[in-house]
Amino acid sequence: MSSPRDDAASALVVLRRRVDEHFGAAQRRSPRQMRCASGCDGCCHVRLSVFEVEATAIREALIELAEDDPETRARVRRQADDPRASTRCPMLVDGRCAIYDARPLICRSHGLPVALEAEGAGELHWCELNFRDEPPPSASVLRLEAVNQPLAVMALMWDGAGERVDLATLATE
């Protein structure tokens, strides 16, 4: 019999895959309008926090990084403590995510047109580099609530409290 943590971890894998598939479909639908590519880091100039259910995968990725590339792991740690780098993700090294495969859901959604639902009214946002010539197709829009609500449930299943941890804190562990 599986535990709530096991169920949350499995559900997170599925949700991550679905968001990645949505992103890929949006890129295929609008290849000239979606300019997201390796090395584009405009969305990474922010400090974020994640639920513990996502933090676990990030910790594992950082352990792997320390084994495979100790120099990059050391840079991630230094960047997390560097006040001059306080406006960008500490996982960003030379314009690329050091933990790309384990990146959180919020990072997986960056670049997509997203619908934010506030008080019954929806707002549509996307990266200023994307969809410059025409608005995004409705099929490419990611409803953030469709990601955030199940993620919040997974977070409660994980630790009973939905605790969050800053990525900078994870980077220094």
**What is the predicted pLDDT for the residue at 84?**
87
Q: Who contacts 36 (Cβ-Cβ below 8 Å, separation ≥6)?
A: 23, 27, 110, 111, 127, 129, 130
- Residues of the chain falling short of pLDDT 70: 118-121
The pLDDT value recorded for residue 39 is 79
Residue 121, pLDDT score: 63
pLDDT at position 118:
67
Per residue in 65-90, pLDDT (tens digit) is: 999 999 999 999 999 999 888 889 99
- Name the residue with tokens 């019954």: 120
